[in-house]
Amino acid sequence: MFADGGDMRPPGSGRSLLWRFGLPIALIQILASIPVAWITISIVEDFNQSRVESLLSRDTKHLESLIKADPGQERTILDQWHESSPDIRLTLIGSAGDVRWDSDGNTQTMGNHGDRPEVLAAVRSGNAVETRFSETIGEGMTYAARRFSVDGQTVVIRASMRSDLTRSQIMPIIWSILLVLVGLLLVTLCAVAYVSRDVSRLVGRLSDGAKKLAAGDFDHRADTNLPGALRSLGLSLDQIAEDQGERIRQFSVQQSEMQGILFALRTGVIAMGLDGHVISMNPAASSILSVDQTDIRGQQLDELGIDAELIAFARAAADTGDHLVSEMSLDSLDGRQIVVQSEPIYADDDQQVGTLLVLDDVTRMRQLEAMRTDFASNVSHELRTPITAIQGYAELLIDEDDDAKRRRYIDVLVSNAGRLSAIIEDLLSLSRLEDSDESRLPERETLAVHELLDEVVIGCGDEAEGRSIILEVKCDEPLTCFGSKHLLEQAVSNLVVNAIRYGPPSSTVQLAASVTESKLHITVADEGPGIDEGSCRRLFERFFRVDRGRSREVGGTGLGLAIVKHIAQAHGGSVEVESTPGEGSVFTVSLPIPSEHNLNNAPIES
């Protein structure tokens, strides 16, 4: 196989081939010889058995003719016959089953033989042959029985021979068969030893090339200067090397492409075997299930701490082999909502070998759907009140002639129209804040915080004065912030208006500003009734009111605090509330303070 063409036969390779080929061939020949020997011996035994049965049947027939020819001399005839053939046992049985004469025993001690199978068969059909165990002799026997009449009496003459005697007659033949088989085995081993020595020398020249091929050296080519089939083997190795090299290169490219596609998918994909072990899991699936991808291959799903409902779904998919779809809430992942689908994985022979699970995290989608449903319900509820009032008072106005009442109805119409306008304006503000198109948001600028708070106080002054509430500003430092003046004023104004409306008359609302850890904090503190902890968590939701009756009494749309939250988020900040029932509330808007090089007029990030 190699360029030098030398003998590359490894040491002891001839002996190795002898063991590798000679021993299996010997075993095969032995295994093949066993049924051959068994069949041959069975044929010989069957032939010998047939011969013995024919001999015994012939003897009974001959004895019948002798006894019929000389009635009354049965014993003499039987004694003479037994002397000439001592290996054959003779028995004369009467019609009642009594033994009249037996060549091997005392007839007085022998039982009734009328129930012997061969005797019964002979009585029925005239003659019979049977091979069985003799209770009288205690050995296996072959019997031939014949029924005939002499002097008007029916008798049965029975001839038999021990099985060991019949077997001893064929043992020389059996030994001859075995010796022939052993001789063939020895000849085969000698032939294999000779051939293996020659073949090992030639095969050794291919061994190194095959080893290089097995090691992945598909660029190596064989020296094909070899005879006959071995040359074809060398050429085949070359072809295998070329084909395998190309296949591996193509497979590597395809595997890289598939791996790239699988890892790029935002949908979770899990391939698992029928027994539940993980074959592969892409990063999206591990992220959805919060599973570490390290050494994940081969593990069972329940070993990864995955939710029991998902494991049950995977088992059902593997058992049924059907396309299944289910949406489930994973308790182990804080109720994360996922949609999981299954598809069976088939091999080339259309046998199912695994299951593919596809996972989509729809938590955010379901939350948005719930928010949309709540929003539609709340909007319809909030709009229904002013619209109903407008419709009702408009109908009253049509039929009313009293100017004073007409004036009061018109005031109610104007008030509800204003409320309706306020709701629509707040909804539009929320829509603009949630719009993903940042170019529609106002541009940012550097603002003096003290001036911002003063503007809010001026804007809310009339409403505060109407309830004798003092607006107090606490901002000693020359603080600045970067944002939209209009939006930030709106956010702080919404907080101040809430404090005025829900605070007791003649109380104080304090506006303050401070800086901690690169964040600006604007706080609005009131002396109102306070808010319980459960309501604090929902306070910034659309249309949420702590006390709906009080909210309608003081006015408002139920969207003011939601607008504050979105304005803070649009500036990259947040809003929080701290409150104790009966002790007032403190609202804090926290805004990041950007570095100097970021102080430009870029749009606000939503």
The whole-angstrom separation of Cα 97 and Cα 422 is 128
Neighbours of 173 (CB within 10 A): 15
Same domain, 142 and 271: no
Least confident of 139-153, 327-341, 371-385: 371-385
Q: Is the pLDDT of residue 10 over 50?
A: no
298 neighbors 271 (Cβ within 8 angstroms):
no
Q: Which domain holds residue 85?
A: 1-215
The whole-angstrom separation of Cα 361 and Cα 290 is 12
User: pLDDT tens, 247-306?
Assistant: 878 877 777 777 777 777 778 888 888 888 888 888 888 877 878 777 778 888 777 777
Find where tokens 């004036």 sit.
407
The whole-angstrom separation of Cα 496 and Cα 511 is 8
User: pLDDT tens, 16-63?
Assistant: 656 666 677 777 777 777 777 778 777 877 777 788 778 888 888 888
The whole-angstrom separation of Cα 530 and Cα 503 is 9
- Among candidate residues 361, 383, 414, the one where a domain is terminated: 361
469 located within any domain: yes
Enumerate the β-bridge partners of residue 480: 448
Same domain, 92 and 153: yes
250 located within any domain: no
Phi, psi of 521 (to 5 degrees): -115, 120
548 neighbors 525 (Cβ within 8 angstroms):
no
Residue 375, domain CATH: 1.10.287.130
57 neighbors 118 (Cβ within 8 angstroms):
no
Phi, psi of 577 (to 5 degrees): -135, 140
What confidence score (pLDDT) does residue 591 get? Answer: 92
Q: Is the pLDDT of residue 432 over 80?
A: no
Nearby residues of 112 by Cβ (< 8 Å), 6 or more positions away? 96, 97, 98, 99
What confidence score (pLDDT) does residue 606 get? Answer: 37
Least confident of 40-44, 45-49, 237-241, 600-604: 600-604
The whole-angstrom separation of Cα 186 and Cα 193 is 11
State the total domains in the chain.
Answer: 4
Q: Is the pLDDT of residue 94 over 70?
A: yes
What confidence score (pLDDT) does residue 442 get? Answer: 64
Q: Is the pLDDT of residue 111 over 50?
A: yes
387 located within any domain: yes
Residue 207, domain CATH: 3.30.450.20
What confidence score (pLDDT) does residue 5 get? Answer: 40
The whole-angstrom separation of Cα 248 and Cα 566 is 56
229 located within any domain: no
247 located within any domain: no
Phi, psi of 133 (to 5 degrees): -90, 130
Query: Which tokens belong to 452?
Result: 């911002």
pTM value? 0.41
In order of 111, 211, 560, the CA distances from 509 in angstroms are: 131, 89, 17
- Among candidate residues 434, 465, 481, the one where a domain is terminated: 434
The whole-angstrom separation of Cα 128 and Cα 117 is 9
What confidence score (pLDDT) does residue 513 get? Answer: 93
Exposed / middle / buried, residue 407 (Cβ in 10 Å: 0-12, 13-18, 19+): exposed
- 340 — alpha (psi -120 to 50), left (phi > 0) or beta? beta
